[in-house]
Each structure stands twice: as C-alpha cells, then as structure tokens.
Amino acid sequence: MTDTPTHCPYCALQCGMNLGGGPAPAGAVRPGSGPPLRVTPRADVPANQGGLCQKGWTSAEVLTVPDRLTTPLMRARRGAPLEPCTWDRALDRIAAEARRLRDAHGPDAVAVFGGGGLTNEKAYQLGKFARIALGTSQIDYNGRFCMSSAAAATGRAFGMDRGLPGPITDLAAADAILLVGGNVAETMPPFMRHVTAMQRAGGAFVVVDPRRTATARQADLHLQPTPGTDLALANGMLHLALTEGLVDEEYVAARTNGFAAVRTVVNSYWPDRVERITGVPVPHMREAVRLLARGRRSYVLTARGAEQHARGVDMVTALINLALALGLPGREGSGYGCLTGQGNGQGGREHGQKADQLPGYRKIDDPAARAHVAAVWGVDPAVLPGPGRSAYELLSALGTAGGPRMLLLFGSNPVVSAPRAAAVEERLDALEFLVAADFVLSETAARADVVLPTAQWAEESGTMTNLEGRVLRRRRAVPPPDGVRTDLEIIAALAGRLDAPGVWSAEPAEVFDELRAASAGGLADYSGITYERIEREGGVFWPCPSPEHPGTPRPFLDRFATPDGRARFTPVEHSGAVEDVDADYPVYLTTGRVLAQYQSGAQTRRVRPLTDAAPEAFVEMHPDLAERLGIDDGADVRVASRRGTATVRARLTDAIRHDTVFMPFHWAGEGRANLLTNPALDPVSRMPEFKVCAVRLEPVAAPRASQIDEPGAAREPSGASR
C-alpha cells in the first residue's frame, strides 16, 4: 500500500502524517481483520515538523475499534430497542419525520447540531442543508463551546477572527510568549517544539494557569491566579505597563482607537488590588509585563482557560488590550492569537454551521451576505431563515413548547460535552425524534431513534483549516467499511428526499468548489484556494480571494479588518465568576483535558494504549485540601455542585492551588465533569462558564466496583462521540 500523506484527526495543530504499511481491510472493519495502518510523522508540515503525540501515533487504531457501526440502526417506536435496518428505510424515516414535524409546527421544529471536527466541506453542506433543505434557523455546533469567546473578542478588536496572527513557525523567533489558560504540552504536544526553540534562543515563556501543568513546568515564569480572575490580571498588567512607561504610544496613536477609555479603567487596577483579587504576587505581574515589552516580537496567546467563562469575551478583550498597548498586533513576529482546540475549529466556524453565520464568515442578518449566498445556492434570499439559538440555548430548548421537536446530530456528543449534562439528557429524551450520525454508539447516539454509521477521517477526503488559518488537505487512505457512508453522502441523500433546491453533491471536491463561490468576498474568502493549489503549496492561508493571490499568512500587517483599518480598544471591568465559593460549596472547580484523551473520548476511549495511559476520570486536588477533607490519594470522592454530583478518584498534587480542584471532561457515566459545570452564558459569544464553578467534596465510604478490579486490568470504554 502506498503511503498517503494526510493530517491527524485530533486537535487544530493538524499535524502531518503518512498512512500506509498494510492493505485496507475488506468489508466491515473488525478486530483482527488485517494489519493496522502504519502511522509515520511528516517532517514537511511546519506545525509538527516530524513530531506526533501519543494520540497521533495511535490514530489509525480508531478505524478498527470493536464497536464500530457498519449498518444503520432504528427504533420501531420510542422505548423500543435499536435494530439494524437498511439505509433506504433509515433515510426515508428521517425525511418523513422531518416533513411531518415541519408541516405541523413550522420549519424550526427541526434542528441541526454539528461539530468542530467536521471538514470544511461537511460544515458548509450542513449549514446549507439546514437553511434550504429544512428551512430551519435552528442550527449550531459544539465549537460554540470552544472558540466563540475569542472569535467575538478578536472580531470586536480587529474586525476579523483568525486563530494565530501568523505561521506557527514565527513563534520560535519571538522574544516572549504569554500563554493564558492553555496546557499545550498535553493538548497539542508538538506545539511545544516552537516554544522550546524560542527559549533556546533566549526568549521567555510565561504561563497563566491555576495549575502547574506540564506546560507551566516548562515556563520561565508561572502566574497561578484564582480561577475566573484573568481579566483583573490583564488589567493589572496593563496598569503596570502604563506606570512603567512600557506602552508603545506611537503605535497606539497610529494604529488603534479607544485607548483613552481603557487607560481610565485600568487606572483603578493598582498592583496591590489586583494581587488581592487574583492571588498573583505583584513582582510576578511586573516581571511578566517587562518580559513581554522588552522586545516587541512578543505574543499574547489565549486558550480555553481564558475563554470558557460567562465573561469570556471580556477576558480575552482585556488581554487583547494589553497586547495592543504594547504594540504587538499587526507586526510581523508578534501579536495576539487564540489556540484553536478542535481539529477544524477554525474552518468549522467560518462556513455556516453557526446559528448566526453564512459561508465566508458572513452574518446571516446582513442583506448583502444573504443575497450573495442565496445566489450561489439558487434560491431567493427571502427563503433563508434568520439567526437561530446558540448551542446551549438550542440544547436547552429541545422538546419544550416552541422549541425543536427533532434533532439531527453530526459529529458531537453533548451528553458528555455540554454543561449541566444531566439537563441536556432530559431535553434529548423529550424530543419526538433524534437522529445521530456517528461511527460508534456514543452516549448521545444510544438515545437516538435512528443512528447512521459514518466514515472516519482516513476513509474520506476534504479540507481542514488549522490554528494558523492554513487550509490543508485531508486525503482518503482506505475505503470505509461496507455499509458505511460519508456525512456528505448522508446529507445529499436526505436533501434529495426532502426535494431541496439546488445541487447536492457528495463529492468533497465539488462541494469545496461551491464553498469557494459562497465564501467569495467574505472575511473568510477561500475563492482562490483549490485542491491542486493546496497540494502544490502544502496549504494556503485565507483570505485568498483569487487564484493569483498568495494567501494571507499575516493578515494585519498593513491594516486591521475594521472599517478604518485601526484596531479597537474596549474597556472591560472584572466582575468575577458567576458562581463564587461559599460555605456550602467552598472549592473552585476547573476543567480541562489530559494528554492521552481527546474531547468527549469518541476515538481515544476506544484505543487501548490511550485507555491504559488514562483509564478513568479523576479529581486533582492539593494535599492540604485533601487532608482537611479526610480524602486519601486514590480514594473515591464525591464532587457536588448546584447542578449535579460526580464520583471520581482523588489524585493529590501540590501543582494546584489550595482552593481549587481540577477534573478532565473526557469520560462518561458517574465521572462526568459536565454534570457539575455551570451553563451561565456570555452575553456576546453565548459561551458557557465551563472553567469555574463552586463545588464541595467528600470521601465516599463504600468502594465502587472499579476499585476492586484487578490492578492494571483494562476496562471497556463506555463510548463517546467524535
């Protein structure tokens, strides 16, 4: 078998890899059906430069998991078991239910929920399907839980949202990097190659995180704030920059607007006050500002720790204000950037599966945007619906009076990944009809009326847009198992049954050509990008408005994407977490990821080396807190918030604050971190407050069954979606 160059199915770094080494399994993929594909890293991809993490090395094993679905499943009625059926029966049933509910209750009775791991082609086609095949405004996706706060903040400041301000290789030449709320050493390990190269050349790495993570341990300076206080910290650092004469006044005057109002606000964030709010010592704040300002080739980077808050947009805005005051954005080799999380988190939010957007990052309520996209689709702009509900609001409305009665789910597992997960389960069960397209029977798919088996990453072609804004090719290495279809094939088949207008191709290249036309003239303009050009150049940066255009690796060098070309300061004030600690819930909970698992665990909880490395959920706490509560290392702990209770093992470490505990969110069942999290929403981005809530902890007297398993025994994964 000839090696196929492609990219990893996991995070937004989109590391390059080759797949080869054995024949493609014939028919249904089952354990032992043939030698697994060999994964080797590609040195020609700048993001990973020949490196892979444990997830990447084992990624081909996902294709042969024991519980891989290879035939549609359907219930005869609610409460009946899922049973195998033909594709025609499944698709006919879905179309009939959609027609019935639309006729009885209007088009918004049917909703669509997508995912940040879908290719650009699938994200585009899903948005088109919702708007003109179903006629519904009710579409959003799980990327709302990932990048939405940073997207809103960068749109407000720069007029355009794009993850990094330049190629990732620029980081190696920086004087300093401030990373707020990211643990890239575990979430995207090859990223650290660029950080290490910077440090070896004399650059400084500053990390802001309540935990001393693997990333923080490599930092030259670690700031360890109280969860939910990053905004106050950023304002305090800007205050210090002002008092120490580190603000680039010439840059501020030439390239920005609005600094006077920000200067007035941060005047009240004097160092001692900020230390009381955040717990970060004043000398550490001062050192961090000086490190950022000493060179001008510096970066302020944010990740989910700064963004997944009910004030996430304002938190990111405060950090952008700091970067602007130091003169960083819009200069080569410096700037503000957001580390996109999901594999296509950047492209997935650009082309129409968000509730308020059309392809090309167009706003759905903009008449000119509606006219352009409608012309590409061959419909009257008047038939396009307006903005719909955001992700959590959509999930919360399922099955309610006036809410959707049917949901089609692609590439997401909200039973594990959504906040206040038990309430989401109730809403899914209240639906009249649920459809899940997935490769396994996940926790969410197990509740569906119809489950459609879909192809996996190495079994289909398409494009992904990584955290740099570089559009990449995902290439098919093997055919999907017999009986399995791609998401594009599923969408096209349903569109045909619903008599949808226009062309509904299942060929990725044809869908991409239509996407190019739909995005033309938008902020995220892909019209000059072709599959052939991506192959030839190893990826193309958007915006790229014509075949002759070189692409835009550094979009803000000459001007920002605002009407006047200037970046905008916005004054923001610290208000703290929506839910603070008190006598009943005296400890902060924060959530995140671990090295061997990914998102809700769809792929990773089914791969033996990864489950061996990280077999179960846990709660990380400081030994002093554990001693006060009478909790031993490895003991079962009940963690309770105002929304639910989870039971997990204790893991004691002095790498976390005394007042804070940490839980990863990859596992289902009684260890679900999202049983506890707060669904309070940011007023702009509609991001839930995943990263901080108040909990109490207590030891569990009786052991769980898992405690008496033989040491080292592997446990069956409980399932999750992509």
Give the whole-angstrom CA distance, residue 42 versus residue 650. Answer: 39
Q: Are 122 and 110 in contact (CB under 8 A)?
A: no
Q: What is the pLDDT of residue 343?
A: 87
Residue 377 token pair: 């689709």
What are the pLDDT digits (tens) for 310-338?
Answer: 999 999 999 999 999 999 999 999 999 99
Domain 4-64 falls under CATH 2.20.25.90: yes
Q: What is the pLDDT of residue 2?
A: 83
Give the whole-angstrom CA distance, residue 515 versus residue 317. Answer: 31
Task: Give the residue-averaged pLDDT of 227-232.
Answer: 97
Q: What is the pLDDT of residue 702?
A: 55
Percent of the chain having pLDDT more than 70? 95
Task: Give the residue-averaged pLDDT of 246-261.
Answer: 98
pLDDT > 70? residue 706: no
- Weakest-pLDDT range from 198-202, 360-364, 602-606: 602-606
Q: What is the pLDDT of residue 387?
A: 97
What is the residue-wise DSSP string for 500-558?
A: -SS-----HHHHHHHHHHHHTTSSS--TT--HHHHHHHT-EESP--STT----SSTTSS
Q: Which CATH number fits domain 148-338: 2.40.10.170, 3.40.50.300, 3.90.1640.30, 3.40.228.10?
A: 3.40.228.10
What are the pLDDT digits (tens) for 517-528?
Answer: 999 999 999 999
Q: What is the pLDDT of residue 713?
A: 32
* Cis ω before 543 (30° cut-off from 0): yes
Q: What is the pLDDT of residue 1?
A: 62
**Dihedral in degrees, nearest 10, Cα atoms 227, 232, 238, 243:** -120
Residue 319 token pair: 């950090």
Q: What is the pLDDT of residue 707?
A: 42
pLDDT > 60? residue 718: no
Task: Using pLDDT thresholds of 50, 70 and 90, give the confidence band for residue 656.
Answer: very high
CA-nearest of 122, 112, 7, 3 to 534 is: 7
C-alpha dist (Å) from residue 152 to 144, 238, 256: 11, 21, 18
C-alpha dist (Å) from residue 93 to 75, 438, 451, 700: 10, 17, 12, 46
Task: Using pLDDT thresholds of 50, 70 and 90, give the confidence band for residue 24.
Answer: very low
Query: At how many degrees (to 10) do helices 508-519 and 120-128 cross?
Result: 70
Give the whole-angstrom CA distance, residue 130 versus residue 142. Answer: 16
pLDDT > 70? residue 705: no
Task: Give the residue-averaged pLDDT of 697-705.
Answer: 74
Give the whole-angstrom CA distance, residue 353 versus residue 116. Answer: 9
Q: Environment class of residue 537 by beta-carbon count within 10 Å: exposed (0-12), middle (13-18) or buried (19+)?
A: middle
Average pLDDT, the chain: 93
For residue 602, the one-letter residue type is: A
Percent of the chain having pLDDT more than 90? 91
What are the pLDDT digits (tens) for 168-197?
Answer: 999 999 999 999 999 999 999 999 999 999
Give the whole-angstrom CA distance, residue 578 versus residue 580. Answer: 6
Task: Give the residue-averaged pLDDT of 340-352.
Answer: 89
Q: Are 307 and 181 in contact (CB under 8 A)?
A: yes
Q: What is the pLDDT of residue 427?
A: 97
What are the pLDDT digits (tens) for 41-68?
Answer: 999 999 999 999 999 999 999 999 999 9
Task: Using pLDDT thresholds of 50, 70 and 90, give the confidence band for residue 36.
Answer: low
Angle at 551 between CA 304 and CA 351, to 5 degrees: 50
pLDDT > 80? residue 78: yes
Q: What is the DSSP letter of 211?
A: B
pLDDT > 80? residue 264: yes
Q: Are 42 and 75 in contact (CB under 8 A)?
A: no
Q: What is the pTM of this model?
A: 0.93
Task: Give the residue-averaged pLDDT of 511-518.
Answer: 98
C-alpha dist (Å) from residue 56 to 50, 183, 454, 598: 12, 17, 21, 11
The fold adopted by the segment(s) 587-708 is Barwin-like endoglucanases (2.40.40)
- The CATH architecture to which 73-145+344-541 belongs is 3-Layer(aba) Sandwich (3.40)
pLDDT > 70? residue 27: no
16-20/587-592 β-pairing: unpaired
Q: What is the pLDDT of residue 22?
A: 52
Q: What is the pLDDT of residue 630?
A: 96
What are the pLDDT digits (tens) for 105-144?
Answer: 999 999 999 999 999 999 999 999 999 999 999 999 999 9
Residue 555 token pair: 């979009």
Phi-psi region of 651 (alpha: psi -120 to 50; beta: other; left: phi over 0): beta
Query: At how many degrees (to 10) do helices 230-243 and 282-293 cross?
Result: 70
433-438/406-410 β-pairing: parallel
Q: What is the pLDDT of residue 560?
A: 98
What is the residue-wise DSSP string for 614-680?
A: S-S-EEEE-HHHHHHHT--TT-EEEEE-SS-EEEEEEEE-TTB-TTEEEEE----GGG-GGGT-EEE
What is the residue-wise DSSP string for 356-405?
A: TEETTTEETT-HHHHHHHHHHHTS-GGGS------HHHHHHHTTSTTS-S
What are the pLDDT digits (tens) for 568-597?
Answer: 999 999 999 999 999 999 999 999 999 999
Task: Give the residue-averaged pLDDT of 395-422.
Answer: 96
Q: What is the pLDDT of residue 675?
A: 97
Give the whole-angstrom CA distance, residue 518 versus residue 317. Answer: 30
Q: Which residues pair with 79 in a beta bridge?
A: none
Task: Give the residue-averaged pLDDT of 368-372.
Answer: 98
For the chain, give every domain's residue range: 4-64, 73-145+344-541, 148-338, 587-708
Q: Which residues pair with 256 in a beta bridge?
A: 567
Q: Reduce the secondary structure of 143-174 to three states and give it as a string.
A: HHHCCHHHHHHHHHHHCCCCCCCCCHHHHHHC
- Weakest-pLDDT range from 206-220, 374-388, 414-428, 706-720: 706-720
